[in-house]
Amino acid sequence: MKVDLSEDFKTKYRDLMGERAEKLFSAIENDSQEAFRLNPLKPDYKNVSYSLDNPIEYSPIGFFGNINGNSIDHLSGYVYSQEPSAMYVTEILNPTENDKVLDLCAAPGSKTTYIASKMDSQGLLVSNEINDKRARVLSSNIERMGIKNTIVTNNSPKDFEKKFNNFFDKVLIDAPCSGEGMFRKDPESVKYWSLDYVEQCANRQRHILDSAYKLLNKGGAMVYSTCTFSPEENEQNVAWFLKQYPDMHLVPVKKYSGMEDAKPEWGDNNPELVKALRMFPDKFNGEGHFMCKLIKDGDPEENKERQINDGLKKEDFGFVQKFSKANLTGLEKINWLKISDFLYQAASLDNRFKGLHILRNGLKLGEFKKNRFEPDIAWILALKPDELKTIYELNQQQFERYLHGESVILNDQPDFDNKWIGLSYQNKLFSWGRYSNRQIKNVYPKGLRR
């Protein structure tokens, strides 16, 4: 694959890397490495049609290989395509079930969905993306993976500062960058590269780091990562950050085969910078990345939730209860929140989030319509089979037709007592179906149809 690297780029890295630069340029000409990740939030999550014979050393749920976006494993949220280098970011962050986590630059959702799986959909995960279109893609990917504990916001990092000072236990900054490490995966990005663009990215990253510092609780951990080789965006920004905030310090991250120490001589010669890591595609089986982990000194400040009103009326609860009795094996009322005509199992009812542009607060359960409640696709993707009264297993032909928007015609009168049933293919729930008169009517969202 031909990647048209600029002469400025080549000159810069020849000066920095000497003879090794030619090996880097050759590696950028090679095909990118494909990989995917399993989703432990799903039942029997290792039951997928893709080979698990090539595991990724540093990720217990990561594997080398390519996946089909139209496969049931993908549509039902059992697998997520993710570049192998990028998987290590979440392992370094190491979120736990009780954490409050902020993914500050989260789209399209690779790292957010990984974080949620490690949290077992517990705690609180706020996934922010400043670009509206990319934020909607982020929200869609969170929905597909059956995640319950995540608030998706579409804000500037600055918007969080007044309300969330010293709030989050873990903060991830997967910073928007010049993308040099992704040149072979996205050759189009080469066209946007320039020395000036690198400087612009580095300046923007410093503003993001500045906000993140304020949002991180004392004793908390921050991971800063980029997918670029540029010292200006990596060692030099971390060196600047450590000088700006003396109560932040780097901690070592484990380096696996092909990973290298970051280079103090590319920063300010601070020997602490070797605790960060680099991945270059001439030595590492993945794309180019920089990653580091920083800890904020001090004892954590307590942040008590200030709850808002859930907005539910007595009749709303009655409609949901009626739906539950007919179609589910049980229903637990946890953090229900009504927004307009939609019902959510909210990730948080904390009024600090009022005023932010929120695309999704937790799990979208469904919509109130005239004298009834109708479930949302997000809910079925988060349910376990034993939580449904009825599941209908489609054959291949029925599955393909259903994805095209067709209803399922049944030859025999089934023993269905309820109207809303779970649809499954290869024992994986992926959609609701609405049963009536020997038909399972198609309610698969039009935007997801193939």
Q: How far apart are CA 338 and CA 336, in angstroms?
A: 7
Residue 230 in any domain: the answer is yes
* Residues 61-77 as b or e (16 or more Cβ within 10 Å = b): bbbbeebeeebbbbbbb
| Catalytic residue (one of 177, 201, 227, 292) | 227
Answer yes or no: do 249 and 115 share one domain: yes
Give the CATH number of the domain where residue 264 resides.
3.40.50.150
Residue 1 in any domain: the answer is no
Residue 65 in any domain: the answer is no
- Which amino acid does the sequence have at 249? H
Query: Which two three-digit tokens encode residue 224?
Result: 């800063």
Residue 221 in any domain: the answer is yes
192 φ, ψ to 5°? Answer: -90, -10
431: left (phi over 0), alpha (psi -120 to 50) or beta: beta
Query: Which two three-digit tokens encode residue 251?
Result: 């901690």
**Residue among 130, 102, 131, 104 at smallest CA distance from 116:** 102
Answer yes or no: do 218 and 89 share one domain: yes
367 φ, ψ to 5°? Answer: -130, 140
Residue 320 in any domain: the answer is no
292 assigned to active site: no
**Residue 109 annotated as binding site:** yes
Answer yes or no: do 290 and 409 share one domain: no
Residue 421 sits in which domain range?
390-450
**Residue 174 annotated as binding site:** yes
Boundary-marking domain end, from 240, 267, 296: 296
In this structure, how many other beta carbons lie within 10 angstroms of the beta carbon of residue 412? 6
**Residue 110 annotated as binding site:** yes
Residue 375 in any domain: the answer is no
**Residue among 147, 140, 142, 154 at smallest CA distance from 104:** 154
Boundary-marking domain end, from 296, 331, 362: 296
- SS3 of 7, please? helix
Answer yes or no: do 291 and 405 share one domain: no
- pTM, entire model: 0.96
Work out how many domains the chain is built from and give that number.
Answer: 2
Answer yes or no: do 91 and 205 share one domain: yes
Residue 95 in any domain: the answer is yes
**Residue 107 annotated as binding site:** yes
Give the CATH number of the domain where residue 448 resides.
3.10.450.720
Boundary-marking domain end, from 296, 321, 356: 296
String of DSSP letters for 181-216:
GGTTT-GGGGGG--HHHHHHHHHHHHHHHHHHHHHE
Is-contact 428 393, C-beta < 8 A? no
**Residue among 38, 39, 42 at smallest CA distance from 429:** 42
Q: How far apart are CA 261 and CA 114, in angstroms?
A: 25
Is-contact 142 109, C-beta < 8 A? yes
Residue 430 in any domain: the answer is yes
Answer yes or no: do 285 and 423 share one domain: no
Answer yes or no: do 266 and 140 share one domain: yes
Q: How far apart are CA 331 and CA 121, in angstroms?
A: 18
Report CA 54 to chain centroid distance, whole Å: 23
Tell me the pLDDT of the chain (450 aa) as tens digits.
678 899 999 999 999 999 999 999 999 999 999 999 999 999 999 999 999 999 999 999 999 999 999 999 999 999 999 999 999 999 999 999 999 999 999 999 999 999 999 999 899 999 999 999 999 999 999 999 999 999 999 999 999 998 999 999 999 999 999 999 999 998 888 999 999 999 999 999 999 999 999 999 999 999 999 999 999 999 999 999 999 999 999 999 999 999 999 999 999 999 999 999 999 999 999 999 999 999 999 999 998 888 888 889 999 999 999 999 999 999 888 899 999 999 999 999 999 999 999 999 999 999 999 989 999 999 999 999 999 999 999 999 999 999 999 999 998 777 787 799 999 999 999 999 999 888 999 999 999 998
Answer yes or no: do 151 and 255 share one domain: yes
